[in-house]
Amino acid sequence: MIYNYNIGIGWASSGVEYAQSYRAKVLRNINKPAKFIFTDMFPRDNLIDMTRNIGFKDEEIIWLYTFFTDYSPEPVTYTLDDLKQSVTKPFTFDREGKTGRMVFRGNNNYFKIYFVNANQDFVHRVEMVSEGCLIRKDYFMSGRIFTEYYAPLDGKAHLYQRRFFNHDGSVAYEEIIDDDVVMYKFKDKLICSKEELIGYMTSKLSLTDQDIIIIDRATGQAQSILENAGAARVGVVIHADHFSEGATNDDNILWNNYYEYTFSMNRHIDFYITATEKQRTLLIEQFEKYLNVSPNVYTIPVGSLSKLRKPEAQRKKHSFITASRLATEKHVDWLVAAVVEAHKDVPDITLDIYGKGGAENDLRTQIEKLNATTYIRLMGQQDLREIYKKYEAYLSASTSEGFGLTLMEAIGSGLPIIGFDVRYGNQTFIDEGKNGYKLPYATGMERGRRQGKMVEAIKRLCLEDDMDAMSRYSYKKAEKYLASEVEKKWKDLVEMK
C-alpha cells in the first residue's frame, strides 16, 4: 500500500491537493493501491465532499479523526428527520437556505442547523445554544461522528473537549483541549499531542517493507511519521521552491521551512521527488555541497495528460486564459493591468480568469475600475480540460511554481504561454520564442518595467504570424507528460527495491 500524507484540503485547493489527485489516478491505472491521509480538522465542511470534488475515490481517503473509530470518511446522509426524531422537547422550526433553527421554550434556547446544501435535508452539524451560550456542536455523516463541548470564558464560547463516536454511539476516544494544548484519551492509552496522535495512527497501519509512505506536507507531522514508519520506504515530494536564494551563499543555504526537517533527516528518507529535472539537478547539487550527501532524487511530473486536446473549431483570436487560486501571490492583478494596457492597441483582446480564492473581490473591483468588464471576465472554478483549447494563449504572472499544473494543461491543449523567467514551471514549459515568451523578473523589480515587459509580450504574441507553429511546438512538448509516460515513472519508482 502507498500511504500519502497531507494536512488539509478545501474547495479552492492548492497545487498539492491537485498533485495528489493526479497521483491517485496514475496509481489506479498501474494497479498500485493507495490511501490519502488528511490530518486537519474540518469543522465547516465534510471531508469527503471536498475530496470527491477533485477526483479522489471515497475508499482512498483516511481521516486522522475517524481512523480510531469504526467510521470511514463518507458523504453526509444524516437527515433533518433523523435530528427531529432525536429531540424529545417541543420546538418550532424554520429554515433559510443552508441553515435552519429549532427553537425551544425558555430564554434563548435553540439548535442552529447547518445543512450540506440549500436544496437537501442532509445535516452536517448542529450548534446547541442554551440561554444564549453555545454549549455543544454535533457533527454528522451517516450518524454522529463527534461532538464538541463549549463553556463561556471571557465572554466567548471556549472549546474544551471533543468526543469521537462509533456507529453504535459508544465513545471511541476523547480530545481534551486547553487552548493550544491537547491530550487524547483512549481506554488504554493517553496521548499528549496531535503529532503524537499522527504517529500512533501511523503505527497502527502495521507497515512492512512492502509499503511506501509519501509525505506531501511535513509540517507538524513528519517526525512522528518517520518514528513510526517501521520497514516502509519513505519518500518526500517537493511541491515548491525548496530554498531561499536571497539568503543562500557559498557557505550556507536557507531551506524552505516546509522541507528543512525532511532534508535534515535525509538518512531516514529513501527518496525525494521533484516535478522538474531542473529542480532535481539543483537539489542534488545543493545536498552534495551543503550536506555532503547524495540522496535519491527522482523527477516525476505532479500531473499528467490523458491525451492532447485539439480544438474542434477555430480558436478565438487574441483570446487569453489564466487559471489559478485567486491568491495575491499569483499576481493575477498584474495580468489584468497588462491586458488593459494591451487593449489600447489590440481592441479585440480578451482575458478569462478561472479559479476561486481570497483575491476574487479585489480583482472584480480592479476590473470594474478599469472599465474592462467587456473583455476581462472572472469565470469561477471549472473543469478546464475541454476549455483551454478554445483559447489562443495562456498567461501567468506567478513568480514561483514548483511545477505548474495549469501550465502543463495549457501546452496539452496547444497553447503558447507568456510568463516570467522563474523556476521551475515557466522554465520547464516555455521555450523562448518557440511556444511563448519568458519575461525577465527579479524580486523588487520596478513595477513599470515589469508591466511593460508583460504588455510588450502580449502584443507581440497577438502580432505573431505563425501561431500554428507555436501551438504545434506546445503539443510536441506536452507529449512527455502524457499519462502513459508518467505512469511508467511511478511504476519504476514503486517497484524499485
At 271, the amino acid letter reads F
Name the DSSP class of 104.
E
**Residues 216 and 4 sit within 8 Å (Cβ to Cβ):** yes
**Pairing of the two strands 212-215 and 233-237:** parallel
Give 89's contacts (C-beta < 8 A, 6+ positions apart).
Answer: 104, 105
Confidence at residue 343, expressed as pLDDT on a 0 to 100 scale: 96
User: If you search the block for the grid coordinates 504561454, which residue do you land on?
Assistant: 417
| DSSP string of 284-335, one letter each residue | HHHIIIII-----EEE--S--BSS----SSPPPTTEEEEES---GGG-HHHH
Residue 424's closest CA among 408, 444, 445, 410?
Answer: 408
Torsion, Cα 479 484 487 493, to 10 degrees, reads -80
The architecture CATH gives domain 2-68+195-299:
3-Layer(aba) Sandwich (3.40)
Q: What is the pLDDT of residues 19-52, one digit of tens each?
A: 899 999 999 999 999 999 999 999 999 999 999 9
**Residues 299 and 280 sit within 8 Å (Cβ to Cβ):** yes
d(CA 401, CA 13): 15
Torsion, Cα 351 353 358 360, to 10 degrees, reads 50
Q: Same CATH topology for 2-68+195-299 and 319-480? A: yes
d(CA 109, CA 127): 11
Give 240's contacts (C-beta < 8 A, 6+ positions apart).
Answer: 256, 258, 400, 402
Phi-psi region at 471: left, alpha or beta (left = phi > 0; alpha = psi -120 to 50): alpha
Residue 14's closest CA among 68, 61, 41, 50?
Answer: 50
Confidence at residue 17, expressed as pLDDT on a 0 to 100 scale: 92
State yes or no: cis peptide before 473, omega within 30 of 0. Answer: no
Task: Say whether 155 sits in a helix, a strand or coil.
Answer: coil
Residue 127's closest CA among 145, 109, 112?
Answer: 112
Confidence at residue 117, expressed as pLDDT on a 0 to 100 scale: 93
Confidence at residue 180, expressed as pLDDT on a 0 to 100 scale: 87
User: What sign for the dihedral angle of Cα 454, 460, 462, 466?
Assistant: negative
Confidence at residue 311, expressed as pLDDT on a 0 to 100 scale: 93
**Pairing of the two strands 171-178 and 156-165:** antiparallel
Confidence at residue 497, expressed as pLDDT on a 0 to 100 scale: 64
Give 486's contacts (C-beta < 8 A, 6+ positions apart).
Answer: 26, 300, 301, 303, 304
Q: Which CATH superfamily is domain 319-480 in?
A: Glycogen Phosphorylase B; (3.40.50.2000)
Residues comprising the chain, all counted: 497
Give 170's contacts (C-beta < 8 A, 6+ positions apart).
Answer: none
The residue ranges of every structural domain in the chain are: 2-68+195-299, 80-185, 319-480
Residue-level pLDDT, tens digit, the chain, 497 residues:
999 999 999 887 778 898 899 999 999 999 999 999 999 999 999 999 999 999 999 999 999 999 999 999 999 999 999 999 999 899 999 999 999 999 998 889 999 999 999 999 999 999 999 989 999 999 999 999 999 999 988 888 999 999 999 999 999 999 999 988 999 999 999 999 999 999 999 999 999 999 999 999 999 999 999 999 999 999 999 998 899 988 999 999 999 999 999 999 999 999 999 999 999 999 999 999 999 999 999 999 988 899 999 999 999 999 999 999 899 989 999 999 999 999 999 999 999 999 999 999 999 999 999 999 999 999 999 989 999 999 999 999 998 887 888 999 999 999 999 999 988 889 999 999 999 999 998 777 778 788 899 999 999 999 888 899 999 999 999 999 999 999 999 999 999 86
At 384, the amino acid letter reads L
